[in-house]
Structure 1
């Protein structure tokens, strides 16, 4: 787990004020922005928070600093996934070379189960689902503690998953592209498949031959550099997404999916940092 030595617990001087605690991961230009809901409620009564978190991230990006916004409700709902992602940043996850894995399609129930256990965002339906499986003969690359968690009769382990949309015709610069969206990507909890996304992308491309692949990087957690290393080009930064948050149940709702029986009277309007849209041209 993320150890105390990996963070600096005193506030970090960044040249812009924030009412939320800000800590730094040791030896990295990565800051954790800890958003408590009581403080957020008070903040929202005095200021319009619509663009606050996005602008905070973008301002610090000019200083080569990455900000990760950790909301209290996300932490309470999915602490294991939050810790898994933070541990991966400091090299504490199980590192599995992608060359040891086998790629093949994954059925919808297994993909849903995997994403619910390993991804912070809600599971969405996707046309194509591809996974990386680690054969039993390579379980030896895993730590003894991790191996103990694997059922004795398992012949392989699903360690990474990517889901893709149906192709759509998209016009860019007067030219039509057969475009596919990379909808979700996740490593198995407490694992990092080194080169995993690259292998999944290549496997999908070889089978379906799209003209391009587009995707979104969650700005609350990512500056998109990992996509740029894979040949993606940054297009736009989208407007922050609003959610209605129930602070008692720690549940979020999209405005267009708010249940009829739920009133917004006691809900908090919260805004994330938006997303960075990327595209990888293949023709």
Structure 2
């Protein structure tokens, strides 16, 4: 019998600090180890980089998610390279799933435009994916007069990384594309994309995304806003609560990963990543906020 990979042991040890791991309600064949939590209706599916990884098919993760979703159980797929490279972000997102994030009320924050270096620096620390080009960039800032709400935050990050100015603290960001003319419903929509959204590590700005969306809508006046939910982590319910309509799903995305260095990149003809194996994520859920039909 093969020994348990260190990656699996590490995740199990971390999850035990959040909640008790339980036996799942039914037995579904799974390609890799997983952990079940009944209160959260949640499965954490862990994908180590071992010899079995090459057997994963493009729809493996999607099939796993769909099988459990039919029973009202959400699956989060955690790849070993993501755990290694973005460990603090993964742990922060897992704490959030268990309701253990520090909560900062969005009503105490102020919305301001930010520049690209500020956005990039924030996303590098607080988001699983890299920053991308965006035309509109916004941040939520907690003014110094409200710093008292942070006093009980035991896992607060180094403030110097989050404070482009000394009198406030950057606690969330959102970035948007420029507009495109899209024909829809027998008319032309001025359509924009919500590209990235992130809270500061180990915290949730309650109502933060809604506040950032409203600021963007007030300033730019889009006809609709499109976005994607990463199916490795999300079932999209947070977008649906904000009025977004689910349009469908995108196919799984192929990546190349070096199982020794954990470098990851998109599969491209010019890729020069050595010793790489091809893996497939779960794809995305596409959402649309139609502001002509439902003004926000």
TM-score, normalised on structure 1? Answer: 0.91
Residue 159 of structure 2 is matched in structure 1 by 150
Partner of 2:259: 247
Which of 32, 43, 58 aligns to 1:50? It is 58
Q: 1:23 offset after TM fit, Å?
A: 0.6
1:127 equivalent to 2:130? Answer no
Aligned partners of 1:55, 1:179: CA distance in 2, in Å? Answer: 32
Q: Deviations over 1:120-168 (max 9, x none)?
A: 0121111110010001111111125356843599321100000000000
The correspondence for 2:125, drawn from 114, 117, 121, is 117
Task: Give the distance between the partners of 1:248 and 1:227, measured in 2 at CA.
Answer: 36
Secondary structure of the equivalent of 2:147?
A: helix
**Aligned residue in 2 for 1:99:** 107
2:149 to 120, 141, 146: 141
Report the count of equivalent residues: 276
Secondary structure of the 2:89 match is: helix
Match of 1:24 among 16, 28, 36: 36
8 Å contact kept, 2:156–2:202: no
* Aligned partner (choices 213, 221, 228) of residue 201 of structure 1: 213
Residue segments in structure 2 that go unaligned for 5+ positions in a row: 1-12
Instruction: Indicate yes or no: 2:246 matched with 1:234.
Output: yes
- Structure 1 range deviating more: 166-175 or 7-16: 7-16
User: 2: distance between equivalents of 1:29 and 1:239?
Assistant: 25
Task: Give the 3 Å change call, closer, same or farther, for CA 147–70 of structure 1 in structure 2.
Answer: closer
- Assess if the C-alpha contact under 8 Å between 2:102 and 2:153 holds in 1: no
Task: Compute the displacement of 1:16 (Å).
Answer: 2.3
TM-score (normalizing by structure 2): 0.87
